[in-house]
Each structure stands twice: as C-alpha cells, then as structure tokens.
Structure 1
Amino acid sequence: MLKIHNSQSKQLEDFTPLTPGQVKMYVCGPTVYNFLHVGNFRGPVVFNMVRNWLENLGYKVTYALNFTDVDDKIINRANELGMTPTELSEKYIAEYKKDFAMLGLRPHDMNPKVTEHMDDIRSMVENLVSQKKAYEAQGDVLYSIESFKDYGKLSGRNTDDLLAGARVEVDEKKRNPMDFALWKAAKPGEVSWPSPWGPGRPGWHIECSAMIKNLFGDQIDIHGGGMDLIFPHHENEIAQSEGCTGKAFVKYWMHNNMLNFGGQKMSKSLGNIVTMREFLEMYNAEIYKWMILSAHYRTLSDFGDEAVERAVGGLSRVYSALSMAESYLTPEVTQEDAAFAKITQDAWKKVEEAMNHDFGTPDAFAAMFEVVRQFNAQVRRGMKVNPAIQGKALAFHNFVRKMGSTMSLFQEPAHAFLIKLDDMLLKKMNLERSAVDTLVAERGEARAAKDFAKSDELRAKITALGISVSDTPEGSFWEVTK
C-alpha cells in the first residue's frame, strides 16, 4: 500500500483518497514574470512522477498547477519593460510551457490563472468577512489569525513565538501584526478589480484557496509545493479554506526540498541562478530529470557540475544497455525470455516497494541498475542472434521503458540519445565528431593490416582525448568516456 509523508503530521501515512479510486491533486505553480530557474522545476518533475505513479496504482488523478499572473513582481517588471501585467504574464506562461514541453513532462489537467478566478476570490473573501474571520481596513481586507485556533498546525509554529521573533512592520490597520491580506486596496496606476471594499487585487494566499475551491470543492487529497511555501503561504491557505468551510482542507500535504548549487542555495544575490532554458540549451532534459529523481524529493539536492556528471554517467549506463537491447529486436520478437523476465519481475516488485514508500526513487533506481548489470552480464555486442538473446533484450527493453514511463525518463530512441549525449560532451571538450571518426578509422585500418604497434599508439591517442573504443566482430565503435 502507498504511504506518503504528510508534512502536516510529519509522519508516513497510508494513502486513502477522499473518494475511492480518485485523486484530486493541486500544486502551487510559478509567479510568471521571467524565465523560471532550474530550482522552480523540481516540483513539476516530482509531482509529474507522483501523478504517474498514482495512475500506475490504478487511481484516476485530476491534477491542477496554477499560474500566479497578478503580483507585485509582475506589476513592477511590467512597468520596467513598458508592458501591461497581462502582456508580461502571458509571455512568461508561454515560456514556462515551452520549458515544460522540452522537459518531456505530461501536461496538467488544469492550469488555472488568478485573473480567471476573481469572482471566486471575492466570494471567498466576502464569506470570511461575513463570518468575522476577516475585517476591512481602509480598503484592505485582512484575515484575523486569532479567529483560527489551529493556526500554525502545518508549520508547527506558535503564534506567540512568531510575534516574538518576527520583524513585523508597524501597521496600524492590523489588529494583530500577524494578520495577512486577503484583498489589497489599489495603489495609483496599479492594475485593479472592483470589489465591495473598493478597487484592488487579491493577496497572494487567497488565490490558491479560491482556485482550489472552484476547481475541486472544499477538500482535496494532495496539495504539493516547495518546502519554502509551508510558511506562510500554505499555512495561510489552511486558515482561509478551513475558516471558510469548516472542513479539513487537504488530506496529504507534500513538499519537495530545495536545490543547492555547490553546497549553496540558489539565489540572485549569489549570482548562481541558472534558468531552465539555459540548462536545456547547454545540456539535456533527461539529465535534469535524472538529477531530480535520483534524489529523494524531500532531501536537499545538490545541483553542481558533479551532479551533472553523475547524471550523464547513469543515463549512459541505462541507454547503452537499452541501445544494445534494441539492436537485437525486430517486430517479430514478441516473446520475453522466461528467466530474464523473472529477473525483471522481481526487480519491479522492488520498484513498487520503493515507490510505495513515499515515492522512494533512489531505491527504485537501484533496482533498475541491478537489472542493467544482469543484462550487461548476459548480453554483449556482437553475440550471435538467437531467440534467447532476443527474448532477454525484449524483457530488458520492456522493463526500462515501463520504469521510465513513471519518471518521464528513458523514452527517447536509445541509439539516437547516446549520439546526442556524446555530441553534447564533445562540444564541451572542443572536439569534432569527424575528427574522432577519422582516428578510429585509422586505427581500424592499422588493425586490419596487423600493424599492432600503430593500432596501440592510436588507441592511446584516442583514450587521451577522453574517448573509449570497443572492438566487436562487426567492427569498432566509440563513445565519450563517462
């Protein structure tokens, strides 16, 4: 049975959805005012995997990820660029979707935008005001945290401690310094919407609560996001939603951890921000997904050059074995080898056990690598084609593709991907593929002429360039050493 670490209880809990067989899942998406950086995409990759695994278990999943398309950052950037906030947000929603597609992730069922849900937001704020959970103050509407006795139950923070430790600016409009805005009065020249309290726009936290209520009703199964959203954003969502409905808002809270660059948190002040677009143009989507999923989603994950090298090495091992398997397959091969099929079936049980324990992708990867090792031990390039070899190749191929469908990995044509990977590495090494081909061909001619001294000399030269050469009955082939 699937167990999920619930950020609210801080414990592993058996997963039982509100409605048998169906899962309602909402993940906080980006505020769209610029290109998104690699840290912003950890959540989309993780929750894409979560949705896929839930479907693998037989659940019907409805998955929404929102776009915050009205916000201080959007307004300020739009003013800087001489654009309207709508023009700016629509531009970067399109760029986000382009990055998302380049990553090879499955589209969400819904991508609600804040500006499409103003009626829902105003309605929810009015509800909270009518219940005396919120109050109007000079055009603003503020949520009274004292009206919600469970405030702090997600983050574990005590309001007295928060007040004692917080640098809260004096705001005479607030009854309690920790009260937060549901509706903000419009400033001169700022985009605004009409409301019972005058022109203004929503506070950040109310947006997700209102969109969830409109799309899913009063309760959802899974609410996801980065750990940086636990407080105050998700804490405030709980206060608003449960204050409004009186019902438990979310059954399972899931939070992915952050990315570190060389042991440092990614930040603009440190100058180590890498956009997803920059990364994808420099490397490859498979590398990014591997880096994210080879670490457990709740661990702090390093994102330096070493992590890229580990990902390249791991992908190369899997895709090399997959390429070899596919070289033995033809459309007529439909029967898996029984003995190797048993190996993959046993490995799949380990994958299921790992994934059902709070989506334990590192242990799932370990089970996959054991299958790769067994396949490489039993099948090698240049072996005589026979039904047993082809049956092993088919069983291996089916296992890797099945594993990959959960992760949105290993779906590319294997041989073509390996060439793409080598071309990427050759570019970094300032080497031309044609130059390597020439050296390998010269060595092949020397071997054919039994000039082994020259052959060894050329091999040493090729190896020094960072290239590995393998000799098979069909000839020599090379790849970048990984």
Structure 2
Amino acid sequence: MSLKIYNSQSKQLEEFVPLTPGQVKMYVCGPTVYNFLHVGNFRGVVFFNLVRNWLESSGYKVDYALNFTDVDDKIINRAHELGMDPHALSEKYIVEYKKDFASLGLRPHDHNPKVTEHMDGIVDMVKALVDKNIAYETQGDVMYSIAAFDGYGKLSGRNPEELQAGARVDIDEKKRNPMDFALWKAAKPGEVSWPSPWGPGRPGWHIECSAMIQKIFGDQIDIHGGGMDLIFPHHENEIAQSEGCTGKHFVKYWMHNNMLNFGGQKMSKSLGNVVTMREFLETNNAEIYKWMVLSVHYRTMSDFSDAAVERAVSGLARIYSALSLADDYVAEGVPPDAGFEKITQEAWKKIEAALNDDFGTPEAFASLFEVVRQFNSQVRRGMKSNPAVQGKAVAFKNFVSKLGRLLSLFQEPAGSFLVKLDDMLLTKMNVKRAEVDALVAERTQVREAKDFAKSDELRAKLTGMGISVSDTPTGSFWEVTK
C-alpha cells in the first residue's frame, strides 16, 4: 500500500510521489527563539520526527530541515525588556531549545538554519521580487504586492478581495493594498540591522523561510510542515514569495498539525495556561509527552490536561510492564517463537496500513495494544521459563522495538523506566518509596506467618495509598496504580 498524505492545499488525501524518485526534501517551520518553548511548540517537532522516520523506513532518503527564527519583533522587544543584545538572547534560547529537544530523545535534523546566517540569500530574493515588479520599495521598506501574484489565497482558501474588504489593518501610507506584507523593514533607531539596496534594515518574517528553503533545497520541495496556525498568513505568503520569485510550484505536499487544547481552551499567555516543555519535564517523563502527541491523529486537536497525562501514564505502563515481563524471559540465542511472530507480523501489516493512511497513529497504537494483550495472555509473571516462553518474549520485544524506533518511544530499559514512572507518581502523591517498601515487606512477613487478616489490612492500606500489590510464586511486587 502506498503512502497517502492529506495535502492542506488540495484539502484531500493524495498519493505521495516525491519530486525526485527515492528522495524527499522536507522543511518544517521551527521556533522563534526568545524564551523557553512551550509544550505546544513541540507537537509538530515530535510528529514530523515520525514522518521522517516512516519515510526512511519506506525506503526514501530524507533531507530534513527545521529552522530557527533568530530575528523578529518578539526577540527585539524581549531583548529590550531584559537589557540584552538580541543576538545573545536568541542564541541563549537556541541552546535551551536543544536541551529540551535532547530530553525528548528525538533524532537530530539534517539542517537547523538560522535567519541570521542567510541574510545574503534573503536580500537576493527580495531584490528578485522587486526586479519582477512583484514587490515595491517605500521609505526604506519593501512590500510584497499581493495584486501582482495570481495565486494568492490558494493554500488558505481566502479570497484576496474579501481579505481586503474585511482587513483589520491600520491605515499604512506605505502600502498600496492593506494586505500587502513586508519583505524588508527599514531599521528603527537602535535596532539590529543589515545592509541592503534599500538601506539598513531586517527581513520580514515570511521571506526568511522562503530564502532558507531556496538555499538548502533549491526552488521546490516535497513536504512543508508546520502548525495549522501558520497556514495564513505565513505559509500563504511563503507561496507568494517563492512562486513569485521562481515561477515554479513551490511545495508538493503541505502538512499541518493541529494545536494543543488546555481543558477546552487554547493555550495562551493571556489565559495564564502556558506550560513550557522544561516545566513539564521537571515533573513528567518525556515518554509521556511523546505518547500524548502520537496517540492522537496529528490533524486532530490534542487534549493537554491532567486526564490526558493519566491516560498516557496508563498506556505507557501497560507497554513497559509487558516489556519488563519479556525481559525476565528473553534468553540469548533463543530465536523468536514462530507462532507469536505470526501475530506480530499481522499486527505490523495493520500498522503499515495505518501509517500509510496519512499517519494514522491511533490505529497503530490499537494494533500495539492488541499484541500486548496477546503477549500478556500467553506469558505471565512467575511462569516456568522454557524455549517457547523465551521465544514469545523475543518476538514481542522485537515488535515493540521496531515500532518504538519509528515513534521514538519505548527506548528506555523497561525495569528502570517503570521505577522512574512510579517515582514520578509517588512524588505527585507525596508518598515516599521507603514507606511503601516497608509496608510491602511487613505484609510479606505476616503472609508467611499465615496472618491473612493482617495481610488483607495492609493490602487495603496500600490500595488506599494508590499502590497495587501482586503476589506471584516468586514473591510480591508493587507498583503505583495506573
């Protein structure tokens, strides 16, 4: 089954056929770096990591770029507030972004271009648009004339005339049309600037991505990704700039991930519900965030709430508990069990079909859970080890590892991950591990003494604390109830 991608421009599923057979050029809009990045900023980062991994596993050679916007009004304003040099501020938060990225355990991109490293290309592109009479200079600014580009609105579906009629744009004597947008901004006193044919200034936001793409990939790319909030005006303006400059179709497949939803509300500074990735990872494992993002289809609004965290913890616990059980039985040199391997092969066909259908991760997760259910029904803690059980454990681990590599999930040692997960939950519950260990040890003693009333009393106490105890032929073990 061939890969089908929902193209935001055509508004339909399209079969994926790259511009050059076997090769994929992919660009995703990255962050504007003036503060710690919030959890919403990383949804696309996690999702497009999967896109690249799936394309590679399907046999394509992928060249993947995610940029840093390190020149912007927000950066200049924030630097002014802090009394910092804007370049020093953006460099500081690029370093912080990379720390968060590393914490998520994602594969590095092939390119992380910065706007400040592409000024010559930006100026050249603006100059080309001016030379073609698609852009015009006015008092040191250069504006893009949307009236000079026939296809304006083809990505967002917005009609330029209607946009103009309904434009909530301040009257600007510099613009011929209220919807014209800045390619180059004349420097204000004390502001960071670069030389240009129109005087010192800096680029507008939209031209930056067009120029970086052209420098890295040339005139055309296969996939351009970003959040749905970038469709208009950012990506619409990118099309106008790039196609106006080259006369060629700019992007073959536009892909947009949806936003994170905070208890029915969009995350915003005004609502005070902005959570940085750094803050989230202080109290939650990175696997939880990746699970929350990938267990929901990328074009669906993703709920980011305590309930969603709990669902992620519960799902991860099921997978890692089964992996931990498998670890107890895996033996070196034992081949996968043929019967269980057949189960995993059937599940993998379903996963392939799901991911080839516009990256249907919820269906892929459902197939994973079915394999976990099958494994847990055939292999149980305390069973006697033999080649059949060992072979099932090997086949199960191979399957989860294969899917995990695509998702950048399930890469941690299962036993230590479950301990970390429990420690995280114990901290949130304000319960100490030593306290639980002591109660479980006491219960083991009274069970050995056949004081079952006291044993039941201690189990009830542990249950009330949110602790589940399991008794097996090899002893009792506990975990936080998930």
TM superposition score normalised by structure 2: 0.99
C-alpha distance after superposition, 1:152-193 (max 9, x if no partner): 000000011111222111111111111100000000000000
* Aligned-pair CA distance for 1:331: 2.4
**Aligned position for 1:434:** 434
Which AA in structure 2 matches 1:455?
Answer: S
**Aligned position for 2:191:** 190
**Aligned position for 1:471:** 471
Q: Match of 1:70, SS?
A: coil
Q: Match of 2:136, SS?
A: strand
Which AA in structure 1 matches 2:463?
Answer: T
| Map 1:26-425 → 2, pairs under 5 A | 26-333=27-334, 335-425=335-425
* Aligned-pair CA distance for 1:473: 1.0
Equivalents in 2 of 1:188, 1:155: separation in Å? 36
C-alpha distance after superposition, 1:260-318 (max 9, x if no partner): 10110000000000000000011010000000000000001110100000000000000
Which AA in structure 2 matches 1:403?
Answer: L
Equivalents in 1 of 2:76, 2:34: separation in Å? 9
Which AA in structure 1 matches 2:107?
Answer: R
Which AA in structure 1 matches 2:427?
Answer: K
Which AA in structure 1 matches 2:404?
Answer: G
Which AA in structure 2 matches 1:417?
Answer: F
Q: Match of 1:182, SS?
A: strand
C-alpha distance after superposition, 1:18-77 (max 9, x if no partner): 000000000000000000000000010010010011011011101000000010110111
Unaligned runs of 5+ in 1: none
* Aligned-pair CA distance for 1:332: 2.8
* Aligned-pair CA distance for 1:458: 0.9
1:11 aligns with 2:12: yes
Equivalents in 2 of 1:136, 1:401: separation in Å? 56
Which AA in structure 2 matches 1:218?
Answer: D
Q: Match of 1:238, SS?
A: helix
In the alignment, is the contact (CA less than 8 A) between 2:239 and 2:250 conserved in 1? yes
Same amino acid, percent of matched pairs: 79
Q: How many residues end up aligned between the 2 structures?
A: 481
Equivalents in 2 of 1:332, 1:254: separation in Å? 44
* Aligned-pair CA distance for 1:330: 2.7
* Aligned-pair CA distance for 1:141: 0.4
Equivalents in 2 of 1:466, 1:177: separation in Å? 60
Equivalents in 2 of 1:453, 1:299: separation in Å? 51
> CA RMSD, aligned part only?
0.6
C-alpha distance after superposition, 1:452-474 (max 9, x if no partner): 11111111111111100001111
Equivalents in 2 of 1:387, 1:273: separation in Å? 52
C-alpha distance after superposition, 1:335-379 (max 9, x if no partner): 000000000000000000000000000000000000000000000
Which AA in structure 2 matches 1:348?
Answer: W
Equivalents in 1 of 2:99, 2:397: separation in Å? 29
Which AA in structure 2 matches 1:68?
Answer: T
Unaligned runs of 5+ in 2: none
Which AA in structure 1 matches 2:379?
Answer: V
TM superposition score normalised by structure 1: 0.99
In the alignment, is the contact (CA less than 8 A) between 2:171 and 2:178 conserved in 1? yes
Which AA in structure 1 matches 2:137?
Answer: E
Which AA in structure 2 matches 1:50?
Answer: V
Equivalents in 2 of 1:166, 1:129: separation in Å? 24
Q: Which runs of 4+ in 1 moved over 2 A?
A: 330-333
Which AA in structure 2 matches 1:291?
Answer: M
Q: Match of 2:137, SS?
A: strand
Q: Which moved more, 1:450-459 or 1:242-251?
A: 450-459
